[in-house]
Structure 1
Amino acid sequence: MTEPARQADAQASAPDTGIRRIAVLSVSALAVLTAPPLYLLLDLAVVGRLGGDELAALGVGALVLSVISTQLTFLSYGTTARSARRFGAGDRVGAVGEGVQATWLALGVGAVIVAVIYPLAPWVMRLIVGTSGPDSSHVAAEATSWLRIACFGVPLILVSMAGNGWMRGVQETRRPVVYVVIGLSIGAVLLVGLVHGLWFFPRLGLQGSAVANVVGQSITGLLFAVRLLREVLPDGGRRALRPRWAVIRAQLVMARDLVARSLSFQVCFLSAAAVAARFGVAAVAAHQLTLQLWEFMSLFLDSVAIAAQALVGAALGAGAVTAAQNVARRVTVVSVVAASAMAGVFALGAGVLPRLFTSDARVLDAIGTPWWFFVAMLPIAGVVFALDGVLLGSGDAAYLRTATLVAALVGFLPLIWLSLAFDWGLAGIWTGLVVFMVIRMLTVVWRIRSGRWQRVGHERG
């Protein structure tokens, strides 16, 4: 068969990459992404009725778990890319097999995390909260108690991440949403009952929140695990469940790149918060409020990026380069239109929306500066998130790692610390964030235009 004929055959066998398919995958991903933050809001509301110390303890404990889980998103993103390539190549067994190996990795990493967190929890909490007074000591003790219980849910949280990864890779959109909703719904009922002793539940206070968290997350993880077994056992039997170290090593290579990329984000945003705090309480409150809005809006853009990962991986696995290019164009248009619409809403609501979150006059006065940087940055983020998804789907994680590190070291971090040195305030910090996003945009656009990401086959060569 000639090369043009092979390409035509690949395009004909390529998966559906139309706007409707992008929308279906994006909505499914968005539901999974937004469920945990919504559960956390309920958790904070329920625990908040116990008192300020308990609320602070929950906030600190949840922060620690959030930081850990953020570093381990490679279990979903990396698995999606590898599974999607095999799925596109017509190897569904191999695509699900990536999920098996990612699940082994999740259980191993999860066990290590539990073994580390449990004994170190008191030290970590004292480090974060401090021990300068009786209130701080009480909050640290309560947070330690919460974290020591909640950490036992980490292995199955990671199993859920791996499950989301391979199921996105094979473009299964309904079950992940159902599994997450079932687990968190049961967790929500237990949360209300165990914290306050309602119905027939014992009153456990803050510890009830941790127990509910573990049970809800574990149910979700077990549902993913059961689905994996049902996929694997009929065709491959128990042999298909064995660890395959070559596959796990390949997954760890991508994990290394994604963890380095994620750590660069964490360092930048922690540095920004630390410098904002030097400008006063109102400044740091305005900064964090706007940043929380940014992070929430990024979930919508991330859902489009996840759709891009699944579709690009499948297209390249099928050898359909043109289909992958079409995905890149379409997801960029969808993401930029969505981001621009968000920017329009926040621009028109600049005088009203901040008042929904605070009535403090000093914070409202300070928030005007980061607000308009946030608005201006959203369309840029539309491009960045979409093309990040395309490159992750192609397996180009090493390039994204390097590009993100360069953007952080050249753009964001210098401007953060110069803002402190020259008293530029929030304007300097948010200028750094915008420069960070612009550099990332330029690097991903250049990479897409270069075509170097278009490597076909079930494995990225």
Structure 2
Amino acid sequence: MASAAPANQTSVAATQGRIWSLAWPIMLSNITVPLLGLVDTAILGHLDDAVHLGAVAVGSQLFILLFWSFSFLRMGTTALTARAAGAFKIKSNNDRQLNANNDQRLRQLQLGLWMLLPLIPAVMLLGFMLWPLALPLMADNPEIQQGALDYLFIRLWATPAVLGQYVLLGWFIGLGKTRIPLILLTVSNIINAALNYVFVFHLDMTADGVALGTVIAEYSALILGLVFAAQMGFSGLGQRPDWLQLKPMLSINHHLFVRTLVLLSTFAFFTAQGAQQGELILAANAVLISLLLLIANALDGFAHAAEVLVGQSLGAKQTQPVRQAIRLTGFNSLLMALVLCLLFWLGGQQLFRLLTDNPQLLPVLDQYRWFLFLLPLVGMPSYWLDGVFVGSGQSQTMRNAMIAAVLLVFYPLWWLFSETLTQADANLGLWWAFYAFTLARAAFMGNRFLTLYKKPENFMHFS
């Protein structure tokens, strides 16, 4: 008994170190994504006309609605790669040598890229067809509609790069190589921010300049990612896969696709409701959503660590490390959420003034400062559980929880507030409904989570 405690402490310390080694590159790389949105907001927010900011806000939401619907490529690739990496660790040296030409870790990257071949033309066609139809639902102002359409049709040409990055990032994360996504996203976002500044302030472009800078940056990141993959043994797509090889990826991904589409549709509805209340409310919500993405991506560092550690432990048929990964990633996520709440409480109003100097917009933002302060704590449970459930392959549970939270919580509360609050307070009701929706996502996953924690052995295979 005397030696058990130190061994356990060593194990906890080792796992904690592993969590931070996985999380900090992801946290930094993820933060660069919404930071870029904040840079775009700051650039356009300092123009005289708020229409350009509104155009990019609407255009970005429609772009996200379409492309993040396919972010299952990232999550599904991470889940399957982590399982393959965990299984690889427990193989003997002889087995590793015999299977060198059939490395399932490498095969997951190939399978993910094969899935892109039919998706790329389909996504581009959907963009050309659906965006002109959806724009009138998102904004009444013709100038905002035209600016958003210009932005979208330029960004659409980045389709191969965006989808390819989803697969590459998922593969690197599943292997535990989280520093590579940090390099890719940092390089991409630096290029993007620099080009956006040049195009807007030196070439007199507006929303179209922001879109063009983003397209160039996306292809830069794709090329760099393929270079890293080649250094790790990737030499091409390999043999065309059959149905049985694709079945595990399709099984987990189709649930994630529906789950992501429901989530992004909710964000689109949120933006549309704000747009109906005028340009200032639309712009204020755009700023707050940009900060929400900053929060989510900071907390996702520990969610991604949970994906890797839970997935690899289940792949290696180990149960106790699963529980330990769940406990420690949850603790770290909660601690980070509290730190973010404190930082926003201390500097939230100053942050608003860094993002815009519009004298009409600032008072509107100040009305919502308390929503900003508490967002990290409200969002933390659902962000963390998403990571745990991706690693354990519970994509069906994630889908069901998302649908239930939207249909049973968000829309009913939005309708109730819209019927009972005055027009001036309608956006406050929209934010309260969003808060409740975020908490409900975690609540609806609670029962399945307890089963996973108590009996990890029941989750050795995807369902």
Question: TM tier, shorter chain?
Answer: 0.7 to 0.9
Moved more, 431-440 or 99-108: 431-440
The aligned residue for residue 162 of structure 1 is 167
1:3 paired residue number = none
TM-score normalised by L of structure 2: 0.80
Give runs of aligned pairs for residues 249-264 of structure 1, distance below 5 A.
249-264=247-262
Q: 1:22, CA displacement in angstroms?
A: 1.1
Give the equivalent residue in structure 2 for 1:114.
124
Question: For 1:422 and 1:382, how far apart are their aligned partners in 2?
Answer: 29
Which residue does 1:30 correspond to in 2? 27
Q: How does 1:120-269 map to 2 (within 5 A)?
A: 122=132, 124-125=134-135, 128-129=138-139, 136=142, 140-193=145-198, 207-232=208-233, 240-269=238-267
What does residue 460 of structure 1 align with? 462
Structure 1 position 368, deviation (Å): 6.8
Please say which of residues 80-89 and 94-103 is displaced more in the overlay.
Answer: 94-103
* 2:36 alignment partner in structure 1: 39
- Residue 332 of structure 1 and its aligned partner are, at CA, apart by 0.5
Q: 2-side partners of 1:44 and 1:354: how far apart?
A: 11
For the 8 Å contact 2:382–2:442, the answer to whether it is kept is: yes
Contact 1:75 1:255 in 2 (8 A): yes
Q: Give the aligned partner of residue 5 of structure 1.
A: none
Contact 1:114 / 1:154 at 8 angstroms: preserved in 2? Answer: yes
Match of 1:4 in 2: none
Residues 81-137 of structure 1 deviation map (CA, whole Å, 9 limit, x = unaligned): 11101100117921221111112223432222223334665555566555x7xxx26
Deviations 1:180-213 (A, max 9, x none): 3334444445445556667xxxx87765544432
What is the Cα deviation at residue 455 of structure 1? 4.6
Secondary structure of the equivalent of 2:256?
Answer: helix
Note closer, same or farther for the CA distance 1:241–1:458 as it changes in structure 2 (3 Å cut): farther
Letter in structure 2 aligned against 1:332 = G
Indicate conservation of the 8 Å contact 1:50/1:205, yes or no.
Answer: no
Q: CA deviation at 1:445?
A: 3.4
Q: CA deviation at 1:390?
A: 0.7
Supply the distance in 2 between the matched residues of 1:162 and 1:451 (Cα, whole angstroms).
Answer: 27
Taking structure 1 as reference, are residues 44 and 273 closer, same or farther at Cα in structure 2, changes over 3 Å only?
closer
Q: What is the CA-CA distance between 1:373 and the residue it aligns to?
A: 4.8
8 Å contact from structure 1 (residues 394, 455) kept in 2 = no
The answer to whether the Cα contact below 8 Å between 1:318 and 1:457 also exists between their aligned partners in 2 is no
Cα separation, partners in 2 of 1:422 and 1:211, compared to 1, 3 Å: closer
Paired amino acid for 2:31:
T
Distance 1:360 1:42 in 2: 16
Separation in 2, partners of 1:18, 1:275: 44
- Superposed CA deviations along residues 234-285 of structure 1, whole A, max 9, x for unmatched, are 7xxx673533433434323322222222233234344444555667777666
**Pair 1:61–1:331, CA change in 2 (3 A):** same
Show CA shifts across 1:387-421 (max 9, x none): 22111110001011111211222222111110011
1:391 aligned to 2:396?
no
**Aligned residues of 1:61 and 1:144 also touching (Cα < 8 A):** yes
Distance across 2 between alignment mates of 1:250 and 1:180: 28
Aligned to 1:8: none
What is the percent sequence identity of the aligned residues? 25
Matching residue of 2:302: 304
Distance 1:16 1:160 in 2: 33
Are 1:328 and 1:387, in contact at CA under 8 Å, matched by a contact in 2?
no
1:331 partner amino acid: T
Residue 415 of structure 1: which of 407, 413, 416 is its match? 413
CA distance in 1, matches of 2:174, 2:246: 17
CA distance in structure 1 between the partners assigned to 2:201 and 2:19 by the alignment:
43
Q: Verify: 1:326 aligned to 2:336, yes or no.
A: no
Larger RCO (CA under 8 A, 6+ residues apart): 2
Q: Partner letter of residue 172 of structure 2?
A: M
C-alpha change, 1:396 and 1:419, in structure 2 (3 Å) is: same
Deviation at 1:18, TM superposition (A): 1.2
Counterpart selection for 1:105 from 115, 118, 123? 115
Q: Distance in 2 between matches of 1:189 and 1:196?
A: 11
Query: Contact 1:183–1:216 at 8 Å: present in 2 too?
Result: yes
Residue 7 of structure 1 corresponds to none
- Give me the whole-angstrom Cα distance separating, in 2, the residues matched to 1:228 and 1:335: 30
Contact 1:43-1:191 at 8 Å conserved across structures:
yes
Aligned-partner residue type, residue 80 of structure 1:
T
1:46-76 per-residue CA deviation (whole Å, 9 max, x = no partner) reads: 6678874655544443333222222121111
Alignment check: 8 A CA contact 1:89 1:458 kept: no
Cα–Cα, structure 1 residues 377 and 196, in superposed 2: closer, same or farther, change >3 Å? closer
Partner secondary structure for residue 176 of structure 1: helix
Equivalent residue pairs, number:
437
How much has 1:162 moved relative to structure 2? Answer: 0.5
Match of 1:86 in 2: 84
Once residues 233 and 332 of structure 1 are traced to their aligned partners in structure 2, the CA distance between those partners, rounded to angstroms, is 34
CA distance in 1, matches of 2:254, 2:238: 26
**Unmatched 5+ stretches in structure 1:** 1-10
Instruction: Work out whether residues 167 and 176 of structure 1, in 8 Å CA contact, stay in contact via their aligned partners in 2.
Output: yes
Matched letter for residue 115 of structure 2? L
Cα distance in 1 for partners of 2:55, 2:289 equals 22
Contact in 2 for aligned 1:61/1:146 (Cα 8 Å): yes
Q: CA RMSD in A?
A: 3.8
Range that drifts further, 329-338 or 409-418: 409-418
Closer/same/farther in 2, CA of residues 59 and 316 from structure 1, 3 Å limit: same
Distance in 2 between the 1:352 and 1:46 partners? 17
**CA–CA distance in structure 1, aligned partners of residues 88 and 12 of structure 2:** 10
For the structure 1 residues 141 and 338, does the alpha-carbon distance in structure 2 shift closer, same or farther, using more than 3 Å as the test?
closer
Deviates more, 1:405-414 or 1:92-101: 92-101
- CA gap 1:98/1:191 in 2 versus in 1, 3 angstroms: same
Distance change (3 Å), C-alpha of 1:176 and 1:349: closer
